[in-house]
Amino acid sequence: MPNVIIRPGWFIPEKLVTPENVYRNRRRFLREMGLGTFGLVAGVVAGCSKHETLAVEAAPSSGSTNAAASSGKGYPYPRNPEFNPKVRISDEEYATGYNNFYEFSTTKTRVRQLVGKFVTSPWEIEIGGLVEKPMKVSVEQLVAMMPIEERVYRFRCVEAWSMVVPWTGFPMSKLLEKIVPKPEAKFVKFTTFMRPDQAPGFAVLPEYPWPYTEGLRMDEAMNPLTLVTTGLYGKPLPKQNGAPIRMVVPWKYGYKSIKSIVKMELVTQQPKTLWESLAPDEYPFESNVNPNVPHPRWSQATERVVDTGNRVNTQLYNGYGAYVAKLYSKA
């Protein structure tokens, strides 16, 4: 099946798109980090979407069409009317065919072809750290304990593209209530699976500080928008979207929405995340969607809606200010 070969953003030599001084500083930084030039080129350039033409391959290869982890029991779950915006929902084909999941590939349209060996069932998740009631449960057990619903959220990648996706899951706050955080817990650290035999991307980027990790402040994790997610489009998560369990944090850039989670830990210190370790000036910990703060190498003022190709204005907190602005107002 012929398809348009896309030259991804990271293919562009960084010195062509970065002011020289930033380039030099980053080089020094990466050298100090022990990362080579390859890490520089492939590592910190997560995309420059205006050079991309969207091409979702028509037919996913067998094995990638989502022998999803959790059984399809209960799907589709009822949609929460509070999260049902009057905007066009992106075509499912795009949400499941245009993916950032570097454990498999840096080419978004290739990810779903490369997930065949990824075993997502059975799947245990460890939830612990500074909590009174740590647990180690299967995703099925967790789902059975939680109030599951569907929510339509806007999703905005730091690379300036966006989608509108119906996710299925439960609020992180409900899970935190169950595990009872200790007072000294200040952050939640999330960790993705790391099985190089099941995911070819690890070997392609050996200098990355795997596994993929992310984090939220405790008050961000408690915010009612923060969704522990097990499905999309009324079905269990496809592997390429982070089966069987991932986060969706809709007011932050997409890289905070960590996929295929094996561990959640409550900690006192702000955790080091994969992207922040690679390029703190480009992918900082907080990473709230903000049209007024450009990425060092591109504007964040607008975004390309992937399935329509329309360019629309980016909104502060991705439009979720009513829920989250108070978290960031300096009282």
Ligand X SMILES: Nc1nc2c(c(=O)[nH]1)N[C@H]1C(S)=C(S)[C@@H](COP(=O)(O)O)O[C@H]1N2
Among 49, 64, 90, 100, binds ligand X (CB under 6 A): 100
- Residue 126 amino acid letter: E
**Which tokens hold the place of 66?**
């989502």
- Using rule CB under 6 A, residue 257 touches ligand X: yes
Beta-carbon neighbour count of residue 3 at 10 Å? Answer: 10
Beta-strand pair 227-232/213-217:
unpaired
Backbone angles phi, psi at 49, to 5 degrees: -65, -20
Cβ nearer to ligand X, comparing 143 with 278: 278
**Partner from Mo ion, ligand X, none contacting 243, C-beta within 5 to 8 A by type:** none
Cβ nearer to ligand X, comparing 101 with 320: 101
Burial group, residue 327, by CB count within 10 angstroms (0-12, 13-18, 19+): middle
Among 14, 35, 64, 101, binds ligand X (CB under 6 A): 101
Compute how many residues bind ligand X; rule: CB under 6 A. Answer: 16
Write each residue from 193 to 232 as x if it is in contact with ligand X (CB under 6 A), else as -, in one continuous string: -------------------x--------------------
**Partner from ligand X, Mo ion, none contacting 198, C-beta within 5 to 8 A by type:** none
Burial group, residue 81, by CB count within 10 angstroms (0-12, 13-18, 19+): exposed
- Using rule CB under 6 A, residue 300 touches ligand X: no
CB 4, min distance to ligand X, A: 19
Cβ nearer to Mo ion, comparing 210 with 255: 255
- Alpha-carbon distance of 87 to 96, in angstroms, equals 19
Q: By CB under 6 A, which span of 35-43, 77-85, 141-149, 255-263 interacts with ligand X?
A: 255-263
- Using rule CB under 6 A, residue 287 touches ligand X: no
**Partner from Mo ion, ligand X, none contacting 103, C-beta within 5 to 8 A by type:** ligand X
- Alpha-carbon distance of 306 to 129, in angstroms, equals 38
**Which tokens hold the place of 51?**
């050079």
Strand order in the sheet with 261-267: 135-138, 124-129, 261-267, 187-192, 213-217
- Binding to ligand X, residues 80-99 (CB under 6 A): 99
- The DSSP code sequence of 26-66 is HHHHHHHTT--HHIIIIIS----GGG------SSPPTT-S-
Q: In a 3-state reduction of DSSP, which class is residue 190?
A: strand
Residue ranges binding Mo ion (CB under 5 A): 100, 157, 254-255
Cβ nearer to Mo ion, comparing 98 with 255: 255
Cβ nearer to ligand X, comparing 64 with 181: 64
The closest residue (CB) to ligand X is: 254
- Using rule CB under 6 A, residue 157 touches ligand X: yes
- Residue 97 amino acid letter: G
Residues that bind ligand X (CB under 6 A): 99-103, 157, 192, 212, 241-242, 254-255, 257-260
